[in-house]
Chain A
Amino acid sequence: MNLEEYKGIYVFIEQREGEIQNVAFELLGQARKLADQLNDKVYAMLFGHKIADKANALITHGADEVLLVDAPELKDYTTEPYAQAICQIIRERKPESLLIGATTIGRDLGPRVSARVGTGLTADCTKIEIGEKGEMLMTRPAFGGNLMATIICKNHRPQMGTVRPGVLFAMDADASRKGEIVNYEVKFDASKFRVKLLETVKEESDLIDITEAKILVSGGRGIGNKEGFTAMDGLAKTLDAEVSASRAMVDAGYIGHERQVGQTGKTVRPDLYFAFGISGAIQHVAGMEDSDLIIAVNKDKYAPIFQVADLGIVGDAKQIISKLTERLEK
């Protein structure tokens, strides 16, 4: 393999029902930064059916070129048509690196593609940097988050990585950015399409994705009851935030599991995380410690949550919520 032939940072643009997922914009933002350092280009691979109108947003968010594959086979995600499309692009365009969102789609597609082209794939990266020789240094947690490992893919291309939603940052749309939209033709081998999608069922409770929230107002035992959560809702509204909770509150039935933060819930990394009445068990902390700014309020000044908080207030969470809401509403 002649590594010199491989150029460009390629981003898999995940869409569901024709809507581009936030993680795709986050990957584009990161790819843009890396490409600027490498003096290279960002290519967005947009797969779907009748989605051409979505291509321009990829350019304003950082892509230099959009490879648009518009085909009925790609309307909804199934592994094989998507794998064939990516693998044809890899063979024909020889990408230097390829980024995919670590969603239930990306984590299904990524390993299939990496095995087909015989290259390395680093799962669930939390950080991507450029090494001395221009190689990708992909850092990820291992051993349940106890250890961080930086992975390289020395002699194979593309260097593939998946990144969890909410970890990287999308750039602000820049309408002045110029780019090209290319209609890319994929030759499918339909004899390999062996999985048939019967239906996609949405469950109401899963519609809110707290990992996408910029601000989370999170509550634990110290919030006490249903009224406490109603008060948190009020605060969340003034900040355009979402409400989340520790496991205790989910188990008590005050809030749904889809809003649980922690090892058995979701990993979040908002700009701001409020921990109200949350003691800070390790399982909870593992799910939120990477938040940019953590403000914790707890009655117990020895609560472990204060060890990860940037700002800690020893006091009554309910009183603080009500006063803070009042002040913000003004």
Chain B
Amino acid sequence: MKIVVCIKQVPDTTEIKIDPKTGTLIRDGVPSIMNPDDKSGLEMALQLKDENGAHVTVITMGPPQADLILREAYAMGVDRAIHLTDRKFAGADTLATSHALAGALRKIDFDLLITGRQAIDGDTAQVGPQIAEHLDLPQVSYLQDLKFDGVKTFTMKRHIEEGYQMLEVDAPCVVTVLSSANKARYMSVGGIVDAYQKEVEVWGFNEIEVDEANLGLKGSPTSVYKAFARGLKPAGELYEVETDEAVGIIINKLKEKFILN
């Protein structure tokens, strides 16, 4: 089986803080990581490889420093790494990003394409299904687990609000994986050393199959009209009183807000 996994380098959003004076993001010193959902997607691919044997390719689109997560993927055990980077891709929204990735994927033969459900910097959950559409492949999102019958059929467990669904789909197909699906393996020590000797293929616009009009800023139907830090609301009233009085204050507040009559 041939598997491709799309991964993205993201700032660790749990480490991001807002400058209270300027209201802007402080990105200095914020570590870049492999997006958690993608990493679980990669782990899922490597488990399939462990169980059935598979060839696993990772692909990322991003600036030069995104090379780091491709090396990390090598150290975890992938067979091939592709770095998609070109000025023509810059300024892309989700749709333009999905077109660029689909353009690259048209050049790669695969049975299963795995993406993370969503990336922690944008949380949109759009790129996976959009790639599936461009490639005219079926999709299953919010994946928790999958089994391969060894021939051509996957049985999939998809998370939904009230529980889960079991679905069946034949290869080739696209899945988007939840970070809760598994616990990704660590890089092996030998793997880390080797990772820097392995080749990362760098692809640009000329290497992929896509209409240029669909790329980058020009190919992006959405744009940011404005961005702002979420305003902190002013602190409310604070009382340090006896229990009976405190309860009275609460009840008055509920009446004031028409929650109680």
Contacts and interface: CB of A to CB of B under 8 A. Distances in A.
B134 interface: yes
A289 B235 CA distance: 12
A232 to B, nearest CB: 14
Contact of B123 (A110, A123, A201): A123
Interface in B161-176: 161-170, 173
Interface size range of chain A in the complex: 35 or more
A121 interface: yes
B164 A306 contact: no
B165 A144 contact: no
Interface in B212-246: 220-230, 232-233, 235-241, 243-244, 246
Q: Classify the secondary structure of A's interface with B.
A: mixed
Query: Max chain A CB contacts within 10 Å: which of B233, B237, B250?
Result: B250
Interface string A292-303: 111101000100
B133 interface: yes
A148 B222 contact: no
Interface residues of B, number: 77
Interface in B129-176: 129-130, 132-134, 138-142, 155, 158-170, 173
Given A118-B221, A312-B236, A197 B94 contact: no
B32 interface: no
A150 B126 contact: no
Contacts of B130: 111-112, 114-115
B125 interface: yes
A150 B227 contact: yes
Contact of B251 (A80, A215, A309, A327): A327
Contact of A112 (B11, B122, B139, B161): B139
A152 B25 contact: no
Contacts of B241: 313, 315
Given A114-B126, A309-B236, A146 B259 contact: no
B161 A103 contact: yes
Given A104-B142, A108-B139, A324-B247, A148 B94 contact: no
A149 B244 CA distance: 44
9 contacts: A107-B141, A111-B128, A123-B122, A124-B124, A144-B14, A156-B221, A197-B167, A203-B163, A313-B241
Interface of A: 16, 78-80, 103-105, 107-108, 110-112, 114-116, 118-124, 131, 137, 141-156, 194-203, 206-207, 209, 215, 239, 263, 271-272, 289, 292-295, 297, 301, 306-316, 319-320, 323-324, 327-328
